Structure 1
Amino acid sequence: MYEGWDAAGKGGNIKRVVKRLDPTGYKVVSISAPTEDEQKYHYMRRFWRHIPLSGEVTIFDRSWYGRVLVENVERLTEPWKIEKAYDEINILEDFLIDNRCILIKIFINISKDEQLKRFNKRMNNPFKAYKITNEDWRNRAKWDKYKEAISTCIAITSKSHNPWIIIDGDSKYNARIKCLEYICKVLKKNL
């Protein structure tokens, strides 16, 4: 599962990870804001249908962590529900691991300056301008609040048996290599 700042390179990183995989054995699930219909149910419901069967791989481009990150910073969810979500996330992940799911949590971190460079580069490229939205700029304006939410999230949900790995994403190339190395290391250990 990938989390990270806007323009951190999550999508490009995922493309490199799946490049040599058998396309029948994995799926990539890109998560965005919940739809009106999804909001009628518990927030975890929309993720359950994507949990892989034994022998399959699901790569989440963003995940249930949106509850404690975006929904928290943007005040879309009441504070007590955010606190409860941490427990629910830890319980879910323990359940998955107890049932032999290999859960890899990657956070791609970039500096505020690097994010601005990437935003501007996207804005000036007609083939990538669609990737930058008002929401991206709004989130950037709340950098410090997101940074605090990310730190809290990682502190609460990184466990010895289920750690986060923080990848320095200022160099996309180096970040891709580090992610691939880490994924290979975890898979070798657990398969």
Structure 2
Amino acid sequence: MQKTRPPRLSDADLSKRLGKKEYFEQLIDLQAVLARIQQAFLFHGLKGVIVLEGWDAAGKGGAIRRISQALDPRSFKVWPIGAPRNYYLNRHYLLRFWERLPPQGAISAFDRSWYGRVLVERIENLTPEHRWRDAYREINDFERMLVADDTRIVKLFFHISADEQMDRFTERLRNPLKRWKLTYEDFRNREKWAETETAVDEMLARTSTDFAPWQVIAGNNKRYARIEAMKAIVARFSEGVDLSPQVLDHKTLDAAGHALDGEQDLIDSLRARTE
């Protein structure tokens, strides 16, 4: 199942940086490709799932905002995942994710995901050890079924250093518009940094598969992280997909020909592409 070595947190070069000019040039290009991918998914009936995990303040939200800017919200949905409600506590942990999977032609992004089972639930002792250990196999089976159902999966873990995280926490304390992002748990979680690293590396080792591989995003520089995340999404979602603009059917072209006076050359050129 794992023919290539799975990624590790230590693989990420946290010194990577991207200048502002290069960042905006690449951002514009990647957003344009994302828009074409969304149109292709709608036309071909494909489905896409983006899984975003990472440290607190690692930049998942900033990446999601840049992705969202490029996509029509009618077929793109972001699911922020927190602690499950009572209804889901009494049912299999994957149920609430099954209910949020995208229909044909759509893309869903999970801001935290089913991997909470082997991360926060493991670290906080919220789930018995034998159950979170079972989850590695369950998650691989779950993702294998999604891929078999023509769903493309991109899994990104945003990695930052402990020092960088504290700098971002400090910024949130100082900025009144960002304080809502900061909680008591954010500081408490830092006490379990080493334990979390162990859990993340085991998660990467056990669930990075050929059909749904993980990619660790070096996140100390926000601009670099956003671009790397978008590159990973574009690469996976565009693989083997025709991104050419949708060709109109003859019925639509016939109606357009009757309605548009003086545009016969345009209608004829579009009709030729369907033949």
Q: TM-score range by the shorter chain?
A: over 0.9
Query: Which structure has the greater CA radius of gyration?
Result: 2
TM-aligned CA deviation for residue 120 of structure 1: 1.0
Residue 30 of structure 1 is aligned with which of 76, 80, 103? 80
Aligned residues: 191
| Alpha-carbon distance between aligned partners in 1 of 2:236 and 2:104, rounded to the nearest angstrom | 17
1:89 corresponds, among 97, 122, 139, to 139
**Aligned position for 1:140:** 190
What is the root-mean-square deviation in Å for CA atoms of aligned residues?
0.9
Q: Determine whether 1:149 maps to 2:199.
A: yes
Amino acid aligned to 1:163: P
Out of 208, 211, 215, the residue aligned to residue 161 of structure 1 is 211
Q: Deviation of residue 161 (structure 1)?
A: 2.1
Output the CA distance in 1 between the equivalents of 2:138 and 2:104: 22
Indicate yes or no: 2:102 matched with 1:52: yes
TM-aligned CA deviation for residue 65 of structure 1: 0.2
Counterparts of 1:90-105 in structure 2, within 5 Å, are: 90-105=140-155
| TM-score, with structure 2 as normaliser | 0.68
* Aligned match for 2:158, one of 102, 108, 112: 108
**Does residue 177 of structure 1 match 2:266?**
no
Equivalent position amino acid for 1:18 in 2: S
Aligned to 1:80: 130
The separation in 2 between residues aligned to 1:32 and 1:18, in whole angstroms, is: 20
Q: Please, which of 68, 71, 92 is the counterpart of residue 18 of structure 1?
A: 68
Aligned to 1:62: 112
Looking at structure 1, the residues matched to 193 and 121 of structure 2 have their Cα atoms a distance apart, in angstroms, of 14
What runs of 5+ residues in structure 1 fail to find an aligned partner? none
Find the residue that maps to 2:158 and give its secondary structure.
strand
Q: In 2 relative to 1, CA 133–190 (structure 1 residues): closer, same or farther, beyond 3 Å?
A: farther
CA distance in 2, matches of 1:190, 1:174: 26
Q: Following superposition, which runs of at least 4 residues in structure 1 exceed 3 angstroms of deviation?
A: none
What TM-score do you get using the length of structure 1 for normalisation?
0.97
Secondary structure of 1:162's partner? Answer: coil
8 A contact 1:154–1:164 mirrored in 2? yes
Displacement, 1:37? 2.3
Q: Deviations over 1:16-43 (max 9, x none)?
A: 0121111111100000111222211111
Residue 167 of structure 1 contacts residue 175 of structure 1 at CA under 8 Å; is this kept in 2? yes
* Partner Cα distance (1:145, 1:11) in 2: 24
CA contact (8 A) 1:102 1:190 kept: no
- Secondary structure of 1:37's partner? helix
Alignment deviations for residues 76-118 of structure 1 (CA, whole Å, 9 cap, x no partner)? 1000001111111000000001111000001110011100101
SS across alignment from 1:24: helix
Amino acid at match of 1:23: P
Q: Alpha-carbon deviation of 1:127?
A: 1.1
Structure 2 counterpart of 1:129:
179
